[in-house]
Structure 1
């Protein structure tokens, strides 16, 4: 994708994968990650969630851990930490646009979309290498961001995407 095309779509440029050193999660993060992933996988299996939605829902633990790590990284500026904090809080709070308490794991779709929009904003100010250091997902991070942004309207609807953007970027 050309730089000009990137600016037109406001999407990140996908690069060829680099050789990254896998991070080990601290035990407390690993336990949370494992529990969240197990809950999501059980929900998907029990409810027969279609593969497309399941693939997006399964991004939730990876995105949550990435944002939590960025909050702790001293190289990340205050404004980017605030954005990461909003996204982490959105994952944790029971009150959101598609509440998990009412619809189960499918309710994580809005959390995933918000997390990706937050990461797009964070990548404006934080070196991509720093963000990639904290990514444990199997897919390329910028590819994930692009995929979710392109599918956001279909995943949660245009009205919810607009509300998520307003929540994150305080648009009036």
Structure 2
């Protein structure tokens, strides 16, 4: 996985690449096993965003052009992905538990757009759809994906961050 940045080829660190591969494999296996399950079919398109969002945030956390405030948001989102016990714990729920991580990540990215040029974010994005479209889509459906109370809990984590 590579990103071209400031004339240098930046290679994603092995640990992030390994986590990306493990996450993608876990989600794809889960989706194959749960095909036909209504809950899985509802969240499936969003679950596949998890590895790409993780990599995007890891890259932004390392990009010298990203202000410190936004780097801290990116790092917080990366750590949230890696924490097995969160609002919807992957430890107990399996890959469907990444839905809150995806919402956390898109909230972080939405907030980062205030002081990070969209071009920089796009440089690091591997997804098929526009990252702006992804952010809008996820946040518009967050209530139905995790429930209103859980979405409020996730949003509260950003209240004190400027």
Q: Deviations over 1:67-119 (max 9, x none)?
A: 00000000001110111111111111122000001110110000000100000
**Corresponding position: 1:23 with 2:3:** yes
How many pairs does the alignment contain? 150
Q: Which runs of 5+ in 2 are unaligned?
A: 5-10
Runs of 4+ more than 4 Å apart: none
Structure 2 equivalent of residue 11 of structure 1? none
**Are the counterparts in 1 of residues 12 and 59 from structure 2 also a CA contact under 8 Å?**
no
Instruction: Give the match for residue 61 of structure 1.
Output: 51
Alignment RMSD: 1.8
Cα displacement (A) at 1:156: 0.4
The residue aligned with 1:43 is 30
Ranked by relative contact order (alpha carbons within 8 Å, sequence separation 6 or more), the top structure is 1
Q: Distance in 1 between matches of 2:56 and 2:101?
A: 13
Task: Confirm whether residue 150 of structure 1 aligns to residue 130 of structure 2.
Answer: no
Structure with the larger strand share: 2
Task: With the length of structure 2 as denominator, give the TM-score of the two structures.
Answer: 0.86
Task: Look up the SS of the partner of 2:129 in the other structure.
Answer: coil
Q: Which residues of 2 match residues 111-130 of structure 1 at below 5 A? A: 111-130=101-120
Gapped regions of structure 1 (runs ≥ 5): 1-21
Say yes or no: does 1:109 pair with 2:99.
yes
| DSSP-derived class of the 1:169 partner | coil
The answer to whether the 8 A contact 1:83-1:168 is kept is no
Match of 2:130 among 132, 140, 154: 140
| Offset at residue 27 of structure 1 (A) | 6.4
